[in-house]
Structure 1
Amino acid sequence: MGSEKDVLVAAAVFLFALISHSEGIVGGREAAAHSRPYMASIQVPEGENMKHECGGFVIADQWVMTAVHCMPTGPNGRKVVLGVHSLSEAEETKQTFDILELHNHPDFRESNYDNDIALIKLDRPYTTSVAIRPVEFMRQGGTNPGNDAEVETAGWGSLDNLGSRPDKLQEVTVDVVISALCRRSDYFGSKFTANMICAQRVCPQPCDQLYKKQDTCDGDSGGPLLFNGTVVGITSNGGRKCGQLKKPGIYTIISHYTRWIDGILGLQPDPTPEHSD
């Protein structure tokens, strides 16, 4: 029979295994370090330190895309950190930037988070590395994911509704939910507009009691929703609690804003009309 020490070690290993497989955005997992080199951490001053507040993603030299509701009244001392996996550990890959310009979409509606898209110009160009690279985003005319399509998202947001925050980047795979459902009164009703896509993965039937709903949560806002490696949405909002059955995560459809994006970035705007809700 093993010693008491052996029993304690075995119990610790078992507990660690359980924790390791349950961590995530909500029901997700830790991403491989720097496997998503476009990810950005938008951080707010907290005393002498900086604290992660929202996500974002690199789309071009010196430009990061995020959500308006992350900074509705301006940068106010916030910084953008690229090349980060662990928020607390010193990583040689990290590059920290001041916000030179913030462009919040002029039609953002605080009442329902419609047009929740913003562009950040960093105070200087970033140095491209294996840990910092831009990601392609869906433009007007592209094909957005259909119902039940698998999409991915990532962030440093809460792991649960108690507000537990991870130190390292988390990722999760979810499924696009039919828009007609999200417009139902028992989901989001009129709050859900044609500029939004909703996604969530819920417990399959028959439901395993240990199964965790998979969803984005507080602190993931501004992060990317990807379909086949292309960003199609921006994490925007959802239910009051994360992972609720009839309150999927809501994401801003980026392809609806191609001309606005091109205008801010100084690119030639597309002459065809954009979708408007």
Structure 2
Amino acid sequence: MESHKDFMFAAVFLLAFISYGEGIIGGREAAPHSRPYMASIQVQEGENMKHECGGFVIADQWVMTAVHCLPTGPNGRKVVLGLHSLSEHEETTQMFDILELHNHPDFNQANFDNDIALIKLDRPFNTSDAVQAVEFLRAGGVTPDTGAEVETAGWGSLDDLETRPDKLKEVVVDVVDSNRCRRGDYFGRKFTDNMICAHRLCSDPCNKPYRKEDSCDGDSGGPLLFNGVAVGITSNGGKKCGQIRKPGIYTIISHYTEWIDNTMAPEEPSN
């Protein structure tokens, strides 16, 4: 009995050490439906739907996400808007099939360059307090500079142990100098001019000294926001979530204005 207690204590201690060392991603639960542009991309798992990736509404019938969320096509996935909890029934939710998926043609699997995709829903969504589009930064707009406070949100893992939240979480992070993210001990040559990196190192009031706040697995495809405008898409930082030298990486949306406009342009009627 005593050895069992010792084992349990050791396990709890180890879990706490891993979590607070570089696993717990910080942040807080968002106010319900305070981010009405958030989308959950879900896949069928048995009789239930399981959250797999994030996304965000940018226009009527259009959701932006990351290519690596759906690299081989929709494959029966659904897009859910207007939700806060992944498990509780909410009258505000709207579920959609994916009518069209447009992955950027220059996406690079090796380094996740050009990690941007557009989803056309099978029908227009009903605008409400819980479902609305968010503005995104276009060409000519100013991408936030080093040290700027930016925000991201999602239902991604709380730690590297893949502990998932039920309710939407949000976090404020700081833009990291791109030159630092290009260093060999960070991302090296995998970090391109189409990327921005961000995280937050903090002590109080973050409860634990030097805790790292960051995006993680399952947050992919969600937005990075600056002054309420989407400037980035959560990309491949989630592979090393919470590590000091592996900030979250986000695709810079303004670099793709022409591709976005051409993709979303209404088809010309055939004669």
TM-score band by shorter chain is: 0.7 to 0.9
Aligned residues: 244
Query: Where does 1:90-169 land on structure 2 (aligned, <5 Å)?
Result: 90-169=89-168
Query: 2-side partners of 1:204 and 1:129: how far apart?
Result: 38
TM-score by length of 1: 0.85
Query: 2-side partners of 1:87 and 1:78: how far apart?
Result: 15
CA shift at 1:241, angstroms?
A: 2.7
CA shift at 1:47, angstroms?
A: 1.2
Match of 1:253? 252
Query: 1-side partners of 2:30 and 2:82: how far apart?
Result: 13
TM-score by length of 2: 0.87
Query: 2-side partners of 1:237 and 1:92: how far apart?
Result: 33
Query: 2-side partners of 1:25 and 1:91: how far apart?
Result: 28
SS in 1 for 2:213: coil
Query: Where does 1:72-83 land on structure 2 (aligned, <5 Å)?
Result: 72-83=71-82
CA shift at 1:208, angstroms?
A: 7.2
Match of 1:60? 59
Moved over 3 A (4+): 207-211
Change (3 A) 1:86 1:239: closer
Does the 8 A contact of 2:215 with 2:238 survive in 1? no
Does the 8 A contact of 1:98 with 1:122 survive in 2? yes
CA shift at 1:263, angstroms?
A: 0.2
CA shift at 1:216, angstroms?
A: 0.2
Query: 2-side partners of 1:124 and 1:82: how far apart?
Result: 13
Does the 8 A contact of 1:79 with 1:96 survive in 2? yes
Does the 8 A contact of 2:203 with 2:211 survive in 1? no
- In structure 1, list runs of 5 or more residues that go unmatched: 1-21, 268-277
Match of 1:47? 46
Match of 1:230? 229
Which amino acid is 1:97 matched to?
Answer: F
Identity rate of aligned residues, in percent? 76
Query: 2-side partners of 1:36 and 1:185: how far apart?
Result: 36
Query: Where does 1:211-222 land on structure 2 (aligned, <5 Å)?
Result: 211-222=210-221
CA shift at 1:250, angstroms?
A: 0.2
SS in 1 for 2:173: strand
Query: 2-side partners of 1:239 and 1:52: how far apart?
Result: 15
- In structure 2, list runs of 5 or more residues that go unmatched: 1-19, 267-271
CA shift at 1:203, angstroms?
A: 3.0
Query: 2-side partners of 1:73 and 1:162: how far apart?
Result: 26
Which amino acid is 1:133 matched to?
Answer: Q
Query: 1-side partners of 2:139 and 2:239: how far apart?
Result: 31
Change (3 A) 1:258 1:246: same
User: Can you list the C-alpha shifts for 1:71-126, whole angstroms capped at 9, x where unaligned?
Assistant: 00000010000000001100000000000000000000000000000000000000
Does the 8 A contact of 2:24 with 2:212 survive in 1? no
CA shift at 1:212, angstroms?
A: 2.3
Change (3 A) 1:119 1:25: farther
Does the 8 A contact of 1:59 with 1:137 survive in 2? yes
Query: 2-side partners of 1:156 and 1:57: how far apart?
Result: 13
Match of 2:17? none
Query: 2-side partners of 1:95 and 1:209: how far apart?
Result: 38
- Tell me if 1:186 matches 2:185: yes
Query: 2-side partners of 1:127 and 1:119: how far apart?
Result: 19
